[in-house]
Chains A and B, each alone.
Chain A
Amino acid sequence: MQIVAVTSCPSGVAHTYMSAESLELSAKNLGVNMKVETQGTSGIENRLDSSEIQAADYVVLTNDVEIREMERFKGKKVVKMSVADIIKKSDALLKKLKATSE
């Protein structure tokens, strides 16, 4: 399974990256192919390209602040969660998405 994600938070210096790391750690543990773009104060890092988005089964987005360039995800299955929930529950989220896609 392939998942792409974009994380962002109100101040852009901490929770953006914690939620990204949390998703990457969970993905590694569960054998999920994951790429996470961060939209923090440093700008967009690890940018998702259109082929990666196209190949993804799911798109995970944080919903604390507006995600930039949302038009990229038109027509995709999108899951929105707060950074706090992703940090606490990224394992559960990925397990659920894995179970749903099988």
Chain B
Amino acid sequence: MDKTSFVDFQVVSNISGTKKEEVIETLVNNLDENNYLASKEVFLQDVLERENTLPTYIGYEIGLPHSQSEGVNYSSVTIGRLEEEIKWTEEGEEVNTVFLIAVPNNNEDNLHLKILSKLSRLLMHEEFRNEVRNLDENALIATLNEKVKGELE
């Protein structure tokens, strides 16, 4: 990982879980293995709590779980691409792509919040959503760096 960067992007493809909690846990485990987290348990709990308050379904078969949490050391966005659609809300809305946004609790710089707001805006564009679904992992990370970070430099 690049710890000098304000936010890093990760892509996890071919996720095979059938439950929302399971998929979120897979993505959290990936972050933990790559040393982005101070506490895997705290972050996972915060993300799931936020999900239970208001599910982060945004349409277009995308879920956007996010938390600013004491369990996070370094800001990151993980794109999880699922093999099969899974149910995300009580109403039965399904997702095949998940963006997990992790932000440390004690951040003093607003830059990563700007990156996150930029990412949120990009998700409303069809061309970007197609890239997220179809590009290979390296090309997708390059696109994210260009479109999300590039504009802030």
Interface residues, chain A, CB within 8 Å of chain B? 10-11, 13-18, 20-22, 25, 38, 40-42, 64, 84, 87-88
Judged by a CB distance under 8 angstroms, whether B120 is at the interface is yes
The 3 A-B pairs at the shortest CB distance, nearest first, are namely A21-B121, A17-B120, A17-B117
- Shortest distance from the beta carbon of A63 to any chain B beta carbon, whole Å: 13
> How many inter-chain residue pairs (CB < 8 Å) link A and B?
61
Interface residues, chain B, CB within 8 Å of chain A? 50, 53-54, 56-59, 64, 66-68, 101, 103, 110, 113-114, 116-118, 120-121, 123-125
Asked if A13 and B124 make an inter-chain contact with CB atoms under 8 angstroms apart, the answer reads no
Asked if B120 and A88 make an inter-chain contact with CB atoms under 8 angstroms apart, the answer reads no
* CA–CA, A13 and B123, complex, Å: 13
Partner of A14, one of B53, B59, B66, B114: B66
Instruction: Report whether over half of chain A's contact residues are helix, strand or loop; otherwise say mixed.
Output: helix
Asked if B53 and A10 make an inter-chain contact with CB atoms under 8 angstroms apart, the answer reads yes
Asked if A14 and B113 make an inter-chain contact with CB atoms under 8 angstroms apart, the answer reads no
Asked if A18 and B113 make an inter-chain contact with CB atoms under 8 angstroms apart, the answer reads no
* CA–CA, A16 and B54, complex, Å: 14
Specify which of B50, B58, B116, B124 lies most central, judged by the most chain A CB atoms within 10 Å of its CB.
B124
Q: Beyond the given A15-B56, A84-B58, A87-B58, please list 18 additional residue pairs across the A-B interface where CB-CB is below 8 A.
A: A10-B53, A10-B54, A11-B50, A11-B67, A11-B68, A13-B66, A13-B113, A13-B116, A14-B64, A14-B66, A15-B120, A16-B120, A21-B124, A38-B117, A40-B113, A40-B117, A42-B114, A84-B57
Asked if A87 and B116 make an inter-chain contact with CB atoms under 8 angstroms apart, the answer reads no
